[in-house]
């Protein structure tokens, strides 16, 4: 269940819409504790004076920073006194074209939801108006004691709030790239070949096609070690190639991509031909049945593998299930698919 991190209202003009704020993303990074090698004893850290080595109580610790060569210390009460108060409203001060905001300014996304059913009408009115005008509302608000610059925009069916970096937080690209090189002359042939390569590699954005492979490998490492299995090392990444002739590299890349797609198209043609002929039992199976044909105890799967299996089996409400219930749903769904496959063979 999504956790509400803020409650207040969006104000624009004389219109006020009570809303709740929810994080749109979640971090799946695996965090480790530290232990003394060869034991199950946790390692703890203590505060100590680096000059005397004496341990320091938390009450005797103050924050400080050097200013012009002089150490200035501040008490927490002093910081609290100048901190911005908690915002109760998100006041939109202006609307700008979303295309004017460089993506480098976007920091984190939240979903905004109407606080009650009575607010659905003004909420969706603002969403549709933003969508129609292709604009975002710019506002400031305070979350957890920090002031944020934000952009409120229309997503597919909801309002989204993106926190933005302030201008002085964005680095000038000329600090890392010689911008004068941008005007360097390029041949028309090189530009055409680069364009052809981009076109040959183009496709639809499918976010579900990508996942955190490292986290999946860490999960598998932990699972293997917990079961006494030997971990498998990751494949060696390919070595970078030295580009000597840019035009030749572009030509070979384009040919390689096109040949790869031709192979895929040929395979698809063979598959279509096979569909018109009497197919084997395996070929006639649905993705759900094919998944079920390679049984593997769900309890042996990593979390990522279990999630992928659940997606393949099209298990409804899978995101709300805990691991035990998800394992049970995968087992039952795979078994049902296998049963349907056997029944279809008997009928045929």
Check which CATH number belongs to the domain holding 139 and give it.
2.40.290.10
pLDDT digits (tens, 9 = 90+) for 291-304: 444 446 877 776 66
Domain boundary among 167, 199, 223: 167
Q: What is the pLDDT of residue 242?
A: 67
Tell whether 14 is covered by a domain. Answer: yes
Q: Is the pLDDT of residue 274 over 50?
A: no
Tell whether 117 is covered by a domain. Answer: yes
Tell whether 148 is covered by a domain. Answer: yes
Domain boundary among 117, 143, 167: 167
Q: Is the pLDDT of residue 17 over 50?
A: yes
Q: Is the pLDDT of residue 275 over 70?
A: no
Q: Which domain holds residue 136?
A: 4-25+83-167
CA 256 to CA 250: how far, in whole Å? Answer: 10
Q: Look at residues 309, 337, 312 and name the one whose alpha carbon lies nearest to residue 323.
A: 309
For range 181-185, the mean pLDDT:
70
User: Between these two residues, 309 and 167, which has the higher pLDDT value?
Assistant: 167
Domain boundary among 132, 167, 202: 167
Q: What is the pLDDT of residue 347?
A: 44
DSSP state of 162: E
Angle between helices 303-312 and 213-226 (to 10 degrees): 110
Are 156 and 8 found together in one domain?
yes
Domain count of the fold of the chain: 2
Q: Which two tokens stand for residue 95?
A: 């609307």
Q: Look at residues 166, 165, 182, 186 and name the one whose alpha carbon lies nearest to residue 174.
A: 182
pLDDT digits (tens, 9 = 90+) for 218-248: 999 999 999 998 888 877 877 776 666 777 7
Tell whether 331 is covered by a domain. Answer: yes
For range 208-225, the mean pLDDT:
89
Are 16 and 146 found together in one domain?
yes
Percent of the chain with pLDDT over 90: 43
Angle between helices 246-276 and 188-200 (to 10 degrees): 30
Q: Which residues of 304-338 are buried (b: 16+ CB within 10 A; e: fewer)?
A: bbbbbbbebbebeebeebeeeebbebbeebbeebb
Q: What is the pLDDT of residue 273?
A: 47
Tell whether 145 is covered by a domain. Answer: yes
Do 128 and 154 form a contact (C-beta atoms < 8 A)?
Answer: yes
Tell whether 17 is covered by a domain. Answer: yes
Q: Is the pLDDT of residue 262 over 60?
A: no
Most confident of 170-174, 229-233, 254-258: 170-174
pLDDT digits (tens, 9 = 90+) for 96-150: 999 999 999 999 999 999 998 888 999 999 999 999 999 999 999 999 888 999 9
Tell whether 33 is covered by a domain. Answer: no
Tell whether 128 is covered by a domain. Answer: yes
């Amino acid at each position: 269940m999504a956790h509400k991190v803020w409650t207040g209202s969006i104000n624009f003009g004389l219109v006020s819409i009570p809303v709740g704020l929810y994080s749109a993303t979640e971090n799946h990074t695996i965090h480790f504790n530290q232990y003394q090698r060869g034991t199950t004893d946790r390692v703890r850290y203590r505060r100590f004076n680096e000059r005397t080595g004496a341990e320091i109580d938390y009450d005797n610790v103050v924050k400080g920073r050097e200013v012009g060569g002089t150490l200035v210390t501040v008490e927490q009460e002093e910081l609290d006194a100048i901190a911005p108060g908690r915002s109760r409203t998100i006041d939109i001060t202006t609307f700008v074209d979303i295309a004017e905001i460089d993506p480098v300014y976007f920091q984190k996304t939240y979903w905004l939801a109407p606080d009650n059913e009575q607010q659905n009408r003004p909420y969706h009115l603002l969403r549709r108006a933003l969508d129609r005008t292709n604009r975002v509302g710019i506002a400031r608000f305070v979350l957890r004691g920090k002031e944020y610059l934000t952009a409120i925009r229309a997503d597919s069916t909801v309002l989204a709030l993106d926190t933005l970096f302030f201008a002085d937080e964005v680095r000038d690209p000329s600090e890392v790239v010689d911008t004068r090189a941008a005007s360097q002359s390029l041949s028309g042939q090189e530009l055409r070949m680069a364009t052809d390569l981009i076109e040959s590699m183009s496709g639809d954005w499918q976010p579900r096609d990508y996942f955190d492979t490292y986290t999946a490998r860490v999960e598998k490492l932990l699972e293997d070690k917990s079961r006494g299995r030997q971990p498998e090392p990751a494949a060696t990444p390919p070595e970078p190639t030295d580009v000597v002739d840019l035009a030749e590299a572009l030509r070979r890349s384009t040919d390689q991509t096109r040949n790869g797609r031709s192979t895929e198209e040929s395979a698809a043609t063979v598959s279509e031909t096979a569909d018109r002929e009497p197919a084997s039992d395996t070929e006639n199976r649905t993705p759900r049945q094919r998944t079920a044909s390679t049984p593997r105890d769900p309890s042996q799967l990593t979390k990522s593998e279990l999630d992928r299996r659940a997606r393949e089996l099209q298990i409804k409400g899978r995101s709300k299930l805990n691991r035990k219930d998800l394992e049970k749903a995968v087992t039952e769904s795979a078994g049902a698919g296998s049963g349907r496959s056997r029944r279809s063979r008997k009928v045929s």
